Structure 1
Amino acid sequence: MKPTLVLVGRPNVGKSTLFNRLTKTRDALVADLPGLTRDRHYGHGLVGSKPYLVVDTGGFEPVAKDGILHEMAKQTLQAVDEADCIIFLVDARQGLTPQDKTIAEGLRKSGRPVFLAVNKAEGMRREVVAAEFHELALGVPLVISSAHGEGVRELVELALADFPDEEESEEKDDHPKVAIVGRPNVGKSTLVNRLLGEERVIAFDQPGTTRDSIYIDLERDDRRYTLIDTAGVRKRGKVFEAIEKFSVVKTLQAIEDANVVVLVLDARQDVSEQDAHIAGFILEAGRALVVAINKWDGLDEARREVIKSDLARKLQFLEFAKYHYISALQGTGVGGLFKSIDGAFAAAMKKMSTPMLTRVLIAATEKHQPPKVGPIRPKLRYAHQGGSNPPLVIVHGTATANVADSYKRYLEGVFRTAFELQGTPLRVQFKQGSNPFADRKPAPKTEADENAARSKRRRSRKAYGKKY
């Protein structure tokens, strides 16, 4: 079992920078702005032969009694309960603060091993920087720079010293990554918490509560999933804060990283142009899709019919996706999402044999041939699979550049039906067959070839003279 290191500290002491350093990623948002991280953020690291889990937490405000700061503090306390050891970060440039003392007192009561890391100490004398932090009574302060990597390896080695060596197992990463996306305040974090069965991420009645993309592992019915809670995506013209711009980028990256995307819509609002833009990006990325219409409870029948009509009209290009009408808050209809997620993931990863694809292609062309372009009719000869997530079918033939878009859509529908590809986009790509003899150059003639040719010409002349 991998030990869990939890990073704790007041806002803007460099926890996310250290998280990225320990995981060798850029998964956590980093900016010179306090309060950027709000939820717990998990990552994997390895030092020597010791793998570990590292947890980034939001800025810890233990005295906050309500609001978003109180919710962030609750997340941090939950992370502390899960920890095998705690790395408590303080800021060398700001020095010891009353808030540091309050946090240190709480960490001493947790019963977990605590390692005090004095961060942002690049270019400073270590012994001078560490002196005032002895007052926290958490052992010898370890002076580091998470931005430059100074002292970080020594810190982690010390934190993991009491844990046995363990070879990191290479598990096949074949479980679905599921991104929960949508506009702000449609209930994404509430849905994530409902799927997990715990208050894992902050769900607050305020748009923009989630800022980073949070990856959370889940096991359900002996099957693993990774849920990705993302920030709400607003219209570009309404994104003013630098933090929110970062968040939108992280959301788009999460869609690219996911296998299946759950698009969450608000049933109490009309389907907006922004909903269609997000759906279009998911389609462009080629990700399998499940649509969840949230806040369905309490709506009258007339309103429900309006929403269904609106969906059919504005999101008709998502006809391959399954639709679920749910209430994330009450839990109504949420259980059925996993069946659709599994089906969409299986369709996105499906392997299609070349003989079967070719038979389906031949049957489709016999039923309906490609239309002529001038005097030329494209001839489609065989097909094979070119990739997964999304499934890519490559069709070979002649004059394939002249295949109409309408015929391409026809083939997509035929392949989707034949291979039961419900829940995933499908791409068909055409490849022009080449003449194998077009670029072949004649072999250079040898002296023997030249002599044989001259002898043949002489014999021809003699034969011609005798005849006439």
Structure 2
Amino acid sequence: MSLPVVAIIGRPNVGKSTLVNRIAGEQEAIVFDQPGITRDRTYRPAYWCDREFQIVDTGGLVFDDDTEFLPLIREQVLLALAEAKVAIFVVDGQQGLTGGDETIAQWLREKAVPTVLAVNKCESVEKGLFQAADFWVLGLGEPWPVSSIHGNGTGDMLDQVIAHLPPMDEEEAPPETSVAIIGRPNVGKSSLLNAFLGEDRAIVSPISGTTRDAIDSLVQRNDTHYRLIDTAGIRKKRSVDYGPEFFGINRAFKAIRRSGVVLLVIDAVDGMTEQDQKLAGRIEEDGRACVVVVNKWDAVEKDTYTMVEYEKVLRSKLYFLEWAPFIFVSAVTGQRVEKILDMVDEAAEQHQRRVTTSVVNEVIEDAIAWRSPPSTRQGRQGRIYYGTQVTTKPPTFTLFVNDPKLFKDSYRRYIERQFRESLGFRGTPLRFFWRGKRHREMDRASANRATKA
């Protein structure tokens, strides 16, 4: 990453994610009154005074327990600390000094990373000074009383943090292609992210629901920068209780909306499910470009025709994503993983592609020549006067006609097929607005009023 990293470290439930939200200025990290909510390293952009940096949230650090995810969380914390310019060690001022705090402090003193000690949950300024005084014994310098919820003391604490950071780079950040990795639980989304990055960026476990938050990672290939967003596995709504999973799924849906391209990951062993179809519908509805990634292909017994037949079955069930390319990969072995970003590049380019009005009308004329617009029993026939592209992401076209009601769904689908056959647009949905004569007259009247004004 081009920006310096500030790592947030501490025991479970001391308010690390709340402090991340306070420093980053947005409610992105999941906050819930339950230990162990954060597991992976999650990065957020932040700045203070004349310094810009990436703040990385980490899971609660516990050294004397090796159950469930705790060893993997320790590994993620160590990786975060290895790339950090400075660490913020968060402790709980209301609970006071604990043995866990002393163990972490001893561990941090053995590292070469500067550490700022933040005593959280000091809601009262005067009382906070007394709460913070107990933590001088940790030997990490002055303990700074802060309140992640109200913001008390965070400015003074950040003044100490940025003293260890270089000045902001005046160069503009390069443009990014945002790529959301979406799918059901346990289809291999985190393994795919790790395969892209060549490191264990996200915790991978056979336990369903391991990833809870949306994890942003930056990667550069040649001159293109990508923001890869790993997300929580999305189960059926009726199976989800209010809590960490509920918030994680909401983050996943937000990740779709803030991405340009979505990787819909499907388990090759389980095949297509109803939930996969619903996710595909959500992607199309949000107008995002898409690449369908069939993962775990190494676990499928196959012959020469298996891939062709398998894709045919999948496409029959994902008919509303017929425009999306398919790729069969194995995140574990790395098979064809490097080709995914090539398909992402193509989908992103088509998603923001614009064609001239003359080309649009040539396609419409050819389509009408092959198949005339439908007629009613009374002999009234639909007419398309002209069309134009009005926007991108996704490419959107307005067709001006005599009466939109004369054009049924079958003919509208035919027009879209003709656009794709003539112009491509592989990997992106298309939008069409059919406007009648009344709308044209209103547009002309508005244009005349604007001219007179």
The answer to whether TM tops 0.5 is yes
Note if contact 2:85-2:165 (Cα within 8 Å) is conserved in structure 1: no
Q: 2:334: which partner in 1?
A: 331
Note if contact 1:387-1:393 (Cα within 8 Å) is conserved in structure 2: yes
Kindly indicate whether residue 440 of structure 2 is the aligned counterpart of residue 428 of structure 1.
no
Q: Could you list the per-position Cα deviations for residues 415-441 of structure 1 after superposition, in whole angstroms to 9, with x for gaps in the alignment?
A: 22222211111111112233369989x
Would the alpha carbon gap of residues 69 and 379 (structure 1) be closer, same or farther in structure 2, given more than 3 Å must change?
A: same
Deviation at 1:307, TM superposition (A): 3.9
Aligned-residue identity in percent: 38
CA–CA distance in structure 1, aligned partners of residues 341 and 58 of structure 2: 28
CA–CA distance in structure 2, aligned partners of residues 205 and 286 of structure 1: 32
Q: 2:348: which partner in 1?
A: 345
Q: 1:84: which partner in 2?
A: 85
CA–CA distance in structure 1, aligned partners of residues 334 and 166 of structure 2: 42
CA–CA distance in structure 1, aligned partners of residues 165 and 337 of structure 2: 40
CA–CA distance in structure 2, aligned partners of residues 418 and 309 of structure 1: 23
Note if contact 2:403-2:435 (Cα within 8 Å) is conserved in structure 1: no
Note if contact 1:49-1:167 (Cα within 8 Å) is conserved in structure 2: no
Deviation at 1:299, TM superposition (A): 2.2
Note if contact 2:264-2:291 (Cα within 8 Å) is conserved in structure 1: yes
Q: Could you list the per-position Cα deviations for residues 33-90 of structure 1 after superposition, in whole angstroms to 9, with x for gaps in the alignment?
A: 2111111111111222221211111111233446311111100110001110011000
User: Pick from 414, 417, 429: which aligns with 1:413?
Assistant: 417
Q: 1:140: which partner in 2?
A: 142
CA–CA distance in structure 1, aligned partners of residues 445 and 53 of structure 2: 57
Note if contact 1:264-1:294 (Cα within 8 Å) is conserved in structure 2: yes
- TM-score between both structures, scaled by the size of structure 1: 0.89
Residue pairs, 1:22-421, within 5 angstroms? 22-65=23-66, 67-123=68-124, 125-166=127-168, 169-171=171-173, 173=175, 175-240=176-241, 242-301=243-302, 304=306, 307-373=310-376, 374-421=378-425
Equivalent pairs counted in the alignment come to: 439
Deviation at 1:164, TM superposition (A): 4.5
CA–CA distance in structure 1, aligned partners of residues 192 and 3 of structure 2: 28
Stretch moving more, 135-144 or 317-326: 317-326
Deviation at 1:190, TM superposition (A): 0.6
Would the alpha carbon gap of residues 436 and 307 (structure 1) be closer, same or farther in structure 2, given more than 3 Å must change?
A: closer
Would the alpha carbon gap of residues 48 and 319 (structure 1) be closer, same or farther in structure 2, given more than 3 Å must change?
A: same
CA–CA distance in structure 1, aligned partners of residues 426 and 443 of structure 2: 42
Q: Could you list the per-position Cα deviations for residues 333-357 of structure 1 after superposition, in whole angstroms to 9, with x for gaps in the alignment?
A: 2122111111111111112222221
Amino acid at match of 2:330: S
Would the alpha carbon gap of residues 12 and 169 (structure 1) be closer, same or farther in structure 2, given more than 3 Å must change?
A: farther
CA–CA distance in structure 2, aligned partners of residues 417 and 18 of structure 1: 52
Structure 2 SS opposite 1:176: strand
Is there any run of 5+ residues in structure 2 with no aligned partner, and where?
Answer: 447-453
Deviation at 1:378, TM superposition (A): 2.6
Q: CA RMSD in A?
A: 2.1
Q: 1:450: which partner in 2?
A: none
Note if contact 1:5-1:85 (Cα within 8 Å) is conserved in structure 2: yes
Structure 1 SS opposite 2:110: helix
Q: Could you list the per-position Cα deviations for residues 280-331 of structure 1 after superposition, in whole angstroms to 9, with x for gaps in the alignment?
A: 1111111111111111114223794774453133122221111111111111
CA–CA distance in structure 2, aligned partners of residues 226 and 251 of structure 1: 14
Deviation at 1:193, TM superposition (A): 0.5
Stretch moving more, 34-43 or 209-218: 34-43
Deviation at 1:127, TM superposition (A): 2.1
Q: 1:458: which partner in 2?
A: none
Deviation at 1:168, TM superposition (A): 5.1
CA–CA distance in structure 2, aligned partners of residues 326 and 396 of structure 1: 43
Deviation at 1:368, TM superposition (A): 2.0
Amino acid at match of 1:431: R
CA–CA distance in structure 2, aligned partners of residues 234 and 106 of structure 1: 39
CA–CA distance in structure 2, aligned partners of residues 183 and 254 of structure 1: 15
Deviation at 1:241, TM superposition (A): 5.2
Note if contact 2:85-2:164 (Cα within 8 Å) is conserved in structure 1: no
Structure 1 stretches (4+) deviating beyond 6 angstroms?
436-440
Amino acid at match of 1:166: M
Larger Rg: 1
Would the alpha carbon gap of residues 308 and 365 (structure 1) be closer, same or farther in structure 2, given more than 3 Å must change?
A: closer
Note if contact 2:311-2:326 (Cα within 8 Å) is conserved in structure 1: no
Structure 1 SS opposite 2:298: coil
Stretch moving more, 397-406 or 88-97: 397-406
CA–CA distance in structure 2, aligned partners of residues 32 and 107 of structure 1: 26
Note if contact 1:270-1:310 (Cα within 8 Å) is conserved in structure 2: no
Deviation at 1:247, TM superposition (A): 1.1
Note if contact 1:19-1:28 (Cα within 8 Å) is conserved in structure 2: yes
Would the alpha carbon gap of residues 64 and 304 (structure 1) be closer, same or farther in structure 2, given more than 3 Å must change?
A: farther
CA–CA distance in structure 2, aligned partners of residues 27 and 168 of structure 1: 26
